[in-house]
Amino acid sequence: MRVVIALGGNAILQRGEPLECEVQRKNIREAAEAIARIARDHQVILTHGNGPQVGLLALMNEAYGKVTPYPLDALGAQTQGMIGFMFEQELRNCMPGREVCTVSTQTLVDPEDPAFAAPDKFVGPVYSLEDSVEVQNQNPHWVMKADGQYMRRVVPSPMPKEILELSSLQHLIANEQITLICGGGGGVPVKRAPDGKLVGVEAVIDKDRASRVLAEGIEADALLILSDVEAVATNFGQPDSQNIQYITPEAMDKFNFAAGSMGPKVEACVQFVRNGGQMAAIGSLAKAAEILTGDSGTVIRNDVKEGVRYYE
């Protein structure tokens, strides 16, 4: 099978962990081991988030102060190289002799996308309410919102329209022995100026939505979205909440999920299956191989007879 695996940035730097290189390296090493278990039997195209990393780079930029800070598109490109390099190295260590390739990609967006007026994508570290007030005072142009019991910066997340390097990616994955890393952070956000030239955009692309566009473009069989959750839960946090094991796209439409977290993941999986994908799934990185076989996570398919089945 050709499998697109979308790995959340918070799985690389987990909530509450210090934003340090060695912490990230350790998490990437563990993630690579889980991904390698799938890559030994299937062709894997790996994408990843970059929320904590791009937020950290933004803080470093703001702290420097003497020059104009680098915009988010440039910071996104930096995280593609940094995270991609680490994943490529660790995957090569897990699979000696296998070809692993990292490609920097750009994602085209609509400059009139309403997301620019309503930022909702979390980036950077989490703060206590008290610390967030100080951070907001230091960066008055930032927008802060609640992320669980913490506060965190949010930025615009426009819808991905096109992956500009798609034809090159198709050429690479024609060799089924290559494990490909691309679409980091959803790709570097760009728009076309009136003269047709490409221009960077101050935003962050949701990596799950971009991964869906990628998966369809390369005709993947499966889309796996992996993070630190075991499965998709109905009425999350409520007494009647249930973890979904199998579900059809139509049955999933009946539930509502948070726009800044689970919502884009569910949306991407549902659209992928509706547009011809065999299966999509959301679950824990630690159980990646079990998710692919339907023994863990939440699996979205068109052929679930009951419409929805819950874990007991």
Q: What percent of the chain has pLDDT over 90?
A: 70
Question: Which of 8, 10, 184, 186 is the catalytic position?
Answer: 10
Question: Which of 265, 277, 283, 297 is the catalytic position?
Answer: 265
What homologous superfamily is domain 2-52+77-110+160-220 in, according to CATH? Acetylglutamate kinase-like (3.40.1160.10)
| In the predicted structure, residue 63 carries a pLDDT above the cut 80 | no
Mean per-residue pLDDT for 174-187? 95
Identify whether 16 is a catalytic site residue.
Answer: no
> Which of the pair, 193 or 237, is modelled with greater confidence?
193
List strand residue ranges (DSSP E) for 148-231, in order: 150-155, 162-163, 178-181, 188-192, 198-200, 222-227
Phi-psi region of 143 (alpha: psi -120 to 50; beta: other; left: phi over 0): beta
Question: Which pLDDT score is estimated for 147?
Answer: 87
Identify whether 121 is a catalytic site residue.
Answer: yes
Cβ 249 vs Cβ 300: under 8 Å: yes
Question: Which of 50, 76, 186, 207 is the catalytic position?
Answer: 207
- Put simply, whether the predicted model's pTM sits higher than 0.75 gets the answer yes
Cβ 214 vs Cβ 106: under 8 Å: no
Identify whether 161 is a catalytic site residue.
Answer: no
Mean per-residue pLDDT for 239-264? 90
What band does 53 get if pLDDT is binned at 50, 70 and 90? Answer: confident
The whole-angstrom separation of Cα 13 and Cα 7 is 11
Domain map (residue ranges) of the chain = 2-52+77-110+160-220
Question: Which of 121, 183, 184, 186 is the catalytic position?
Answer: 121
| In the predicted structure, residue 122 carries a pLDDT above the cut 70 | yes
